[in-house]
């Protein structure tokens, strides 16, 4: 977890969920994002707060430090280690929110195939994932070493039957605090470790196996199947 997700609303819908009154510095456009089946290395929209205001930028899903070129860029970071390990030390202070509509997990179907499941909020509100990264320059132009990782935690309750890890999802008020550069790093770690949304906030259902091919896109991918 988390290795595939959807981000299909428009950026203004996601920003509205945060209730940040400042004007948005928007580098992703006003149209629906329409990413129903986003895979690692995809350019996804994220939100980060700078002195100039709230920025929306496209960013590559995955990041590694310059000294780790011998390995694939991780897409997730375990909340238990992210604040103190050397791998993410350079970007731990650079907090961002990756707003999504849902994510997918795969479960052994018992017939040598894997069944995909979609996970979303029960209230259908945007999912505000805690993340860290290295962001584009002032004009939104991407750089070769830009990227982000989503922070993950242990699953609990019924969600554990789908996968043992899940994103750290923050409420709107905690997401605003997470984004604020004035929030101390120790407080950010506490939020990520202890204050993510609980499993009961979410629901999950089976979807068609077409989502397994990341080249497939479209709203039909998120439809429930019997």
Q: Cα(186)–Cα(80) distance, rounded to whole angstroms?
A: 13
Q: Any residues with CB less than 8 A from the CB of 224 and at least 6 apart, and which? A: 118, 205, 206, 207
How many domains does the chain divide into? Answer: 1
Quick check: is 105 catalytic? yes
Of the residues 2, 80, 203, 224, only one is catalytic, namely 2
Of the residues 31, 50, 105, 197, only one is catalytic, namely 105
What is the pTM for the complete model shown?
Answer: 0.94
pLDDT by residue (tens digit) across 99-150?
Answer: 999 999 999 887 888 999 999 999 999 999 999 999 877 666 667 788 999 9
The angle, 0 to 180 degrees and rounded to 10, between the axes of the packed helices 185-194 and 172-179 is 150
136 backbone dihedrals φ, ψ, rounded to 5°: -65, 170
Quick check: is 2 catalytic? yes
CATH of the domain at 55: 3.90.1680.10
Tokens linked to 97: 């929110």
pLDDT by residue (tens digit) across 5-56?
Answer: 999 999 999 999 998 887 899 999 999 999 999 999 999 999 999 988 999 9
Structural domain for 111, as ranges = 5-222
H/E run at residue 11: helix 11-18
């Amino acid at each position: 977890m988390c290795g595939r997700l959807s981000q299909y609303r428009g950026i203004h819908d996601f920003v509205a969920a945060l209730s940040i009154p400042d004007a948005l510095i928007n580098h992703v456009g006003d149209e629906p994002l329409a990413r129903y089946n986003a895979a690692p290395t995809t350019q996804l929209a994220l939100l980060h707060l700078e002195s100039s205001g709230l920025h929306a930028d496209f960013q590559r899903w995955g990041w590694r430090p310059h000294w780790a070129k011998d390995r694939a860029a991780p897409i997730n970071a375990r909340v238990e280690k992210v604040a103190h390990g050397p791998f993410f030390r350079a970007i731990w202070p650079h907090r961002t929110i990756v707003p999504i509509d849902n994510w997918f997990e795969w479960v052994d179907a018992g017939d040598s195939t894997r069944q995909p499941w979609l996970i979303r909020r029960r209230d259908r509100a945007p999912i505000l994932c805690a993340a860290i990264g290295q962001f584009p320059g002032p004009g939104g132009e991407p750089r070769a070493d830009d990227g982000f990782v989503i922070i993950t935690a242990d699953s609990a309750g019924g969600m554990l039957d789908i996968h043992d890890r899940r994103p750290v999802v923050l409420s709107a008020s905690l997401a605003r605090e997470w984004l604020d550069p004035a929030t101390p790093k120790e407080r950010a770690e506490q939020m990520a470790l202890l204050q993510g949304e609980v499993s009961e906030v979410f629901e999950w259902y089976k979807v068609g196996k077409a989502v397994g091919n990341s080249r497939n896109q479209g709203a039909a991918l998120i439809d429930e199947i019997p």
